[in-house]
Structure 1
């Protein structure tokens, strides 16, 4: 990943040889580096000049790196914080995320390329999101809903690139329908909808090979990196005064009902309701689009997956309500309504229409799944591909 490497980086390690190696590696790639050998030295130096990134060893002579990085998170919240340790300790990694608010956790012996890529990704994400947040008004416009958050919403797909295209929009749409079914609305719903749109922005810093694998296929090392993304996203979002509630939802959307989730291992009623709703909608869409398992699930298979995870991954009451809603309003319920009429030519599709069947290219590549409501942006992309999209598609008769 290309990024500006003019950042000032503070490195902390009590071993002079390791510290020199860190400094040489980073200065050789354009970074300005200051090194310290203790918590007290680093604390004093950071008080004088701050830093855009801090890389610290875990074990230090007068404290530990996690406590130091927690102080850095408090005093320099925009910094990128990376912990390096020679101890393969899961409890330490959890502390690093929850207390030190670390962007990454690397084990010794670290590889130069891994360190450089991790630092570059962290700086790129923090700068991109920080720039977008600077353009967002600190007070909401009551007449524009989330429209005035466009700088942020536009930055997210740019950061994620080709990773899970359209996923955030689909999850937000799922939750819109589900919450209407539940009778939920107001400011709490707007925060949930925003969280849905941006919940995976923390995955922007993952290596390409990790992002390309379904979640169920991740090896231990890749999974550890993957499990940091909710905390990273939440930290970025929490920098803006309007996004605190959405940030909390994003942070907890991978918690599980049985307590085996991340980053905090919350269980049952300890997980806020909005995070429980987002967890289910997120996993449901990922199952439909091949991000959770190696193949795409049908609507029926995705509903079966949700049913099987009742009481384990998902809150049983949320599962019951969600499946009831899908039976009443999902694609399977809509198909008989649409079958009575003729299909609509692709060229005549309009914003707001809801597909009653999958829209595919002439070679069978899925473009838009059944049940999706067409937006202006989506229609523009469909028309740009019109050479490969022809014929008619059935529209749900609402």
Structure 2
């Protein structure tokens, strides 16, 4: 229960205050002078003190100033019957008084003032208790951390050594895996002159298109791997058949060729890392209008990676003579792809491919120079001259990508999460002369 000390040299004032606070569930002590009040406070933990201003010997201001000095946590209220503002302000400044109450007082006002003061006192005491508890717990945690520091350092060193070994091993596995993919891809291309380099060109362009479309890293990797391996199903075809353009195949040859997607999927499915790519290989001969094979998928029902692969593969094959009996110039290929928008190819992807090709052609201009800048300094309006790779070798953005304000903010934010700063190679105007 809160303890209140009332200090006044007039007994009738003390009696009136005692009657007023009798129903407030508080304990009350009284003193008829400042000196007596200080003696009581030295013996009892007083929560709140109300002191009259004008008292003989020691004034209320002097008394409350002493209370503030010796018991700063005690809430202090001043009771005054004089409207001398200068005197009241002096008392407030010297005693850091919570409130002053004028005589004659309003019973409800003084009761509410005391209630609020006691509530504030309780909250302040709880705050200090929690701060002390926090300091104590922090000290305990600091001691615990100190005792564990050596063990943590030793364990960290062990983990770092193990991690370095795993990183090296993972790098070797990744290198060997990609090398194996290239070997498998070359098995077909070695058997047909027009196929040489086809898979690598398709893989590179498909990856760039996927990045331009905003595909995530995992999806982009699956598209790249599927592009490298999309012709693996041709391994069962004869050397002569590999040289026959699709447009002039016989009925028997066409029937055999239509099995290439499913056989490619079957060859890749046993390898866990290639299962997603295998699904794209299966679907890369589907048509946007549903007249493709092997599952007659249509529209968005065809996986995006397969739609990309179908478009880019045909874009390259039309130029190397593997679809028509003659090689087609790039400008004529564009016209043919435009004619088949919405039929064989996703119309949005056709537009995106042309935009990508135009961007790649633009970045090859001899009038432009390449400059290298830190990611933290990149500004909107520049174009990547080279692929932007993460420290681990993963592709973040492909060459030819235009950096707008949104992408600029993402690059800067991403750079802050890396231990090693990113450097960008971008195109800049050559200096005159």
Alignment TM-score, normalising by the size of structure 2: 0.44
Alignment TM-score, normalising by the size of structure 1: 0.47
Q: Which has a greater percent of helix? A: 2
Structure number with bigger Rg: 2
RCO higher in structure (CA 8 A, sep ≥6)? 1
